[in-house]
Structure 1
């Protein structure tokens, strides 16, 4: 049993013990290591000023580290067990700037400079990905790499130019700069062993076996942590600091995606980035939604199961999972239990889950022949914003008849709703404007929203109605063009 968190920072090994294990990465870097290039502004994972690069020994690409950007302000040290962390200081080559840093200088990408280290790290991650794939770092890719970074001086044009003018012929990937083989060997040796780290007020347990996690949940009133993207915000903004934590990230099966016959299983510790990359063929509409769901920094930490367990009525993944009749795999002292996600939410933040159970993963059935899915969200910003209303529909149209349809709407009640009255109104009807106009009026009455800061109840009803009509308009156009 270890009593430390095992990490590397800019190629140097570190054993994190005691109070340090419960610090955010940004605080540890700045106040314990003197790496002050990492800046903190929003402290809630929105602006990207604190971006650093992480290579995870549990998540390799072609047998080597895949360095991805994360927000260090909401990443706890104990979450990073088994990771190599590279800061803006770790990018340079000796006393020389690396190609990304040089391009930022040459293209005048810095104004006040406070956000610049985060932009540099995000661009470096994009350049790394392009270098490993052998593809050009295009303007679209540059912009995608920077979607999680805000410049309060609004100097984006010069920053984008910096990305486009990186000399990729001279760019040295971090997998070449650092001795990946040695770092991987040492980290993997450590994370194969369970660890328990204590301070005077906190404790975190990271087992390597599922059976040990089950036993710990049964005997300890602990808080389970996944990507901790929400926990980091609560810690920074509300002082939420649970004394006993259980992390599942060193349990192999929790990090797996398993493609089975007619379904895919996604483990509790699989992050959204991995789903987006690996399930594009199986879950195309969902992975497309994930692309605009959050910034790269958030997707590299946040998990699908975390979104499910958070039980938010505006959780972006939940409407999709409901219309797909996804199965929640629970595990506890009495073994496994399977719950259809449509039965999982019993009220606001209330789950069909026993005290000694936790979510092992989620199983998502694949579409049958002829079935299609449509997903929508409305938010103040087009991308990467908290939803006002979310909408999902799975449907099958056969010779102009709606053979089957499932609809789920979020942001219109204490939980995401399956709107069964609306579904029943449409089933068996001809796929035409009249049927959907009639159903939209039923939907407007069926949802039960409230007024809040993002919209009034009436606004949400109108959005729900219009999303159903938008679904009809898009699909009827697709059918008229001979689409399937």
Structure 2
């Protein structure tokens, strides 16, 4: 049984483990305002708002793609859809602004756009911040519209405060009581709240699939029509939702980031210490995806084109694993064994990811190549970290996604640069060494030849960036809105 608040009313529903929030809405509850577009988290037509109480005691809402959000994760939460915002002629400012600015034509995508504007409006109420073009792009980048050309939608976002402030009073109501741990296990969906509870679930059901943001896993249900016999939801495990700054015994320091911490939560940390990594998150996925996707999930998924593993490899990250046999640690580069094959043993899960503090003088650059600028999977991603010490390259770490069956460092290319000056000759040797490091694949996103050329060109871009740093020129190495 799933217990949650649906547009201000208590709701109690049963659902199979693979049921999505969208299916629950349309098929079980008969609430059809929320639409299905792509069923893969790309178009935003199904966007809803999910509210939960934060440590500050306030109810906070975030946008989510209903098509790839597990219905059981609504337990103890608020669900708000476009059907619940108005009260007769009283429209929420997001709705009133869309009407006033003619922001809807065919109307299919409109419910999702309204809900993205709703969550933006809620954020503005709690933390007033100027609506810059970057903030608007972040809020609406996950909503596609083929009719309006986006200008009327942008105008609606900018004028929400001009309309009467009507908010349903139940938006601030308390969340319903949660079920006892492990909630829902009788129907194949376990939802432990403690690390010991998670270990017990893993011990009982080592064959179970783990789910956090479900931004990739749920595509198996929506695109391949798979059924999940048993799922263990890790999003409620307290120990997996912490960010802890530590000093390790070997002299390193950094942060242990819990495997269930979302991209949205780590973004402020990255903006402070690794701006290139923070910048990547906006190309990794939409606001809806960043609100739910997790660093631990992106690693455990073990995709060769996952965006964050190359960056973490370049930074020297480590993993802490947990299972019935206890905890263990290993370097991230020892985690990926082969295509979709990792060092996780039966009944194990990722507990936390270690993100080191930046080394003094270290620079990080991350460049992603994809067919679309927004919301697309990488064809090639390069992450490069290095130091310059009296003009000599030190601690060179070059990692790529999309170049092998696993995310991988370019060891031969690193060796060609380590301890040398960043000359054209040194980088030419590094580009040639990539042929020994990788034998890339050919797929729908790019041929092996394209990937070899692209990786070599990214190294050349790196050389130009380093060379430009020694000049007073403000000229861009490459005119690209997302170069960083």
* TM-score, normalised by the number of residues in structure 2: 0.92
Tell me if the contact between 1:109 and 1:155 (Cα under 8 Å) persists in the aligned partners.
no
List per-residue Cα deviations over 1:4-42 (Å, max 9, x = no partner): 3221111112223354x6421112112222321100011
Q: Is the 8 A contact 2:92 2:167 kept in 1?
A: no
Distance change in 2, residues 1:387/1:103 (3 Å) = same
Alpha-carbon distance in structure 2 between the residues aligned to 1:163 and 1:407 = 41
Structure-2 residue corresponding to 1:217 = 202
Q: Does 1:123 align with 2:112?
A: no
Match of 1:373, SS?
strand
Q: State the number of aligned residues.
A: 468
Report the CA distance shift for 1:226/1:450 in structure 2 as closer, same or farther (over 3 A): same
Aligned equivalent of 1:195, options 174, 183, 186: 183
Q: Secondary structure at the match of 2:350?
A: strand
Q: 1:329 and 1:274 mapped to 2: Cα distance? A: 19
- Partner residue in 1 for 2:416: 425
1:139–1:164 Cα contact (<8 Å) kept? no
**What corresponds to 1:69 in structure 2?**
63
8 Å contact kept, 1:18–1:197: no
> CA-to-partner distance for each residue in 1:273-299, whole Å, 9 max, x for gaps?
111134421333211211221001111
Q: Aligned ranges for residues 3-402 of structure 1 at < 5 Å? A: 4-19=1-16, 22-57=18-53, 60=54, 62-167=56-161, 170-171=164-165, 177-178=169-170, 180=172, 182-184=173-175, 186-187=176-177, 190=178, 193-199=181-187, 203-220=188-205, 221-261=207-247, 262-402=253-393
Measure the CA separation in 1 of the matches of 2:231 and 2:280: 31
Per-residue displacement from partner, 1:222-260 (whole Å, max 9, x unpaired)? Answer: 111111111221101111112111112221111111222
Q: Which runs of 5+ in 1 are unaligned?
A: none
Consecutive unaligned residues of structure 2, counting only runs of 5 or more, are 248-252, 475-484
Map Cα deviations across residues 116-139 of structure 1 (whole Å, 9 max, x no partner).
Answer: 111111112122222322223344
Shift of 1:178: 2.4
* Rounded Cα–Cα distance in structure 1 between residues aligned with 2:245 and 2:87: 42
Deviation (angstroms), 1:444 = 4.1
Quick check: 1:126–1:137 contact (8 Å CA) kept in 2? no
1:438 corresponds to which of 396, 404, 429: 429
SS of alignment partner, residue 306 of structure 2: coil
CA RMSD of aligned residues (A): 2.0
> SS of 1:161's equivalent?
helix
Aligned to 1:415: 406
Q: SS in structure 2 opposite 1:280?
A: helix
**Residues 123 and 441 of structure 1: is their aligned pair in 2 closer, same or farther, counting only changes over 3 Å?**
same
Instruction: Return the offset for 1:482.
Output: 9.7
Q: Post-superposition shift, 1:168?
A: 5.0
SS at match of 2:103: coil
